[in-house]
Amino acid sequence: MYCVGIDLGGTNIAAGLVDLDGNIIYKDSVPTQRQRQYQEIIKDMAMLAKEVIEKSNVPMEKVKSIGVGSPGTPDCKNGIIVYNNNLNFRNVPIREEMQKYLDLPVYVDNDANCAALAESAAGAAKGTKTSVTITLGTGIGSGIIIDGKVYSGFNFAGGEIGHTVIVVDGEQCTCGRKGCWEAYASATALIRQTKRAAVENPESAINKLVDGDLDKIDAKTAFDAAKLGDETGEAVVKQYIKYIAEGVINVINIFMPEVLVIGGGVCKEGDYLLNPLKEMVKAGVYSKEEIPQTQIKTAQLGNDAGIVGAAMLGA
């Protein structure tokens, strides 16, 4: 059997036919054109689903379900996206609309949860029952997998680990609170921290790397400076990894997942990021060596996680 996974993004709709082991048989994408009415967007999603089934040469009776991963707050029970600002969705009945075109069960969840489910089913946490996936991007996305399924609370709005405060009255977060983990450990936060350090330390290699143009600073700049031996760059990187570690330890002390998966562009730094992170986590977790410990791994599925995870919703 197979499932269709649809990754609805602000820019593109990506869809794939996926087998029950999480392998993509065929995938394609179309532009979202997000300013449109939701009916049009969902019609395109349904057409794309039909296309990937046909191009896979898999008979329709072997397709079990369609899963949709969307940004926003889902009502998974009713297949609705309750709200999402980016797509201007308010109580959008994705399941109902999809089923106008396709006679298949339709599952809906948010994109961070789908990414976590993908890593659990076919990625870095494959073979585990319990895992947490953290994506360090513009914000911090997070998804919790318990007994192989997404956990998001009684109203499907849980799993917002990025919006847990690690510094009471700290940095302003986009969510309205102050001091959220996202405001310290997202890529956006790293860029802010790097800019501040560049201003305070004009002699730093950070400034040279961007030719003095602070707007050119990205999530890689501090790491690049650190690797050149620049003290300011090293300090920014060390403090940033500490912020990641504080949140990771919190997650481990709460969930004790078999695997904690970290994704997002910053993971391209590889062991340069992971080794000190693992050291800090080992030193900080509540339960010490006497018992088995959570493994920290980097995400494996990259851009395909959305498709694979959405497909796995109905697998």
Residues at the contact surface with a second copy, assessed by CB under 8 A: 73, 75, 82-83, 128-130, 144, 146, 151-161, 163-168, 170, 175-177, 184, 242-243, 246, 249-250, 252-258, 284, 286-287, 290-294
Least Å from the CB of residue 243 to a second copy: 7
CA-derived radius of gyration, the chain? 20
Residue 151 CB, nearest distance to a second copy (Å)? Answer: 7
Closer CB to a second copy, 11 or 287, in the complex: 287
For residue 80, give Cα distances in angstroms to 74, 104, 146, 254, 286.
Answer: 6, 16, 22, 29, 39
Q: Quick one: 80 or 118, whose CB is closer to a second copy? A: 80
Q: Report the alpha-carbon distance of residue 209 to residue 201 in Å, rounded.
A: 13
Give me the least distance between CB of 287 and a second copy, in Å please. Answer: 4
Q: How far is the CB of 189 from a second copy (least distance, A)?
A: 13
Q: How far apart are CA 134 and CA 115, in angstroms?
A: 9
- In angstroms, what CA-CA distances link 261 with 82, 116, 134, 258, 300? 27, 8, 6, 10, 9
Residue 45 or 116: the one with the smaller Cβ distance to a second copy is 116
Asked if residues 307 and 16 have their Cβ atoms less than 8 Å apart, the reply is yes
Nearer to a second copy, 201 or 250 (CB): 250
Quote the DSSP letter at residue 293: -
Q: Sign of the C-alpha dihedral, residues 244, 238, 291, 286? A: negative
The Cα–Cα gap between 138 and 143 comes to 16
Closest separation in Å from C-beta 166 to a second copy: 6
CB of 79 to a second copy, least distance (A): 15
Closer Cβ to a second copy, 146 or 214, answer by number: 146
> Which residues, listed in sequence order, are joined to residue 63 by a DSSP beta bridge?
2
Residue closer to a second copy by CB (options 33, 91) is 91
Q: Of 196 and 216, which has the nearer Cβ to a second copy?
A: 196
Nearer to a second copy by C-beta: 17 or 185? 185
Judge residue 127's burial from the number of C-beta atoms within 10 Å of its C-beta, 0-12 exposed, 13-18 middle, 19 or more buried.
exposed
Distance separating alpha carbons of residues 226 and 213, to the nearest angstrom: 18
Distance CA 264, CA 140 (A): 9
Token match 């072997």: residue? 62
Least distance in angstroms from the C-beta of 162 to a second copy = 9
Nearest-approach distance from CB 34 to a second copy, in angstroms:
20
Instruction: Mention every residue, 6+ apart, whose C-beta is less than 8 A from residue 11.
Output: 31, 32, 34
Phi then psi for residue 287, to 5 deg, are -95, 125
Least distance in Å: CB of 180 to a second copy? 9
- Nearest CB to a second copy, comparing residues 83 and 101: 83
